[in-house]
Amino acid sequence: MASIDYSTRITRIDGTEGDLGEHEGKVLLVVNTASKCGFTPQYEGLQALWERYRDQGLVVLGFPCDQFAHQEPGTEAEIAEFCQLNFGVDFPLHAKIDVNGAGTHPLFQQLKAAQPGLLGSKTIKWNFTKFLVGRDGEIVSRHGPKATPESLTGAIEQLL
């Protein structure tokens, strides 16, 4: 199994820069998100997981993406406000990224290489694809958009 590279740079939704090293030793749930998608209500479930397990070492990382039917058209400030007002999101959100194509963010390059989709596909098919990463950085599993955050509870608890 492959591991994530903790030196991978990330830009938080407020524009500040960091790297994945700030989450080293934690269980990560990495999700490509969108505000105008049929799966957008999953923000509520993601927030619930964050609230339930953060003290045990879970970090939910949201990465807005506008590559699927233009369902994340807003600015970072608009996205942050939408998520906070509508779903009470306070888990870490990041600047918009690409999850497919030439501009794919390095984190999603790593995730897709380690956990391909159906029939070995290296692409993300839609918003709210989820990846679980163990405390050791190992990329453990990939879950499609139809997998609700709640359905990941057992897998998360095993990693914690």
Residue type, 106: P
- Of residues 4, 29, 37, 152, which has the active-site annotation? 37
Q: Which tokens belong to 82?
A: 């939408």
Any catalytic annotation for residue 83? no
Of 4, 123, 6, which Cα lies nearest the Cα of 68?
Answer: 123
Catalytic residues: 37
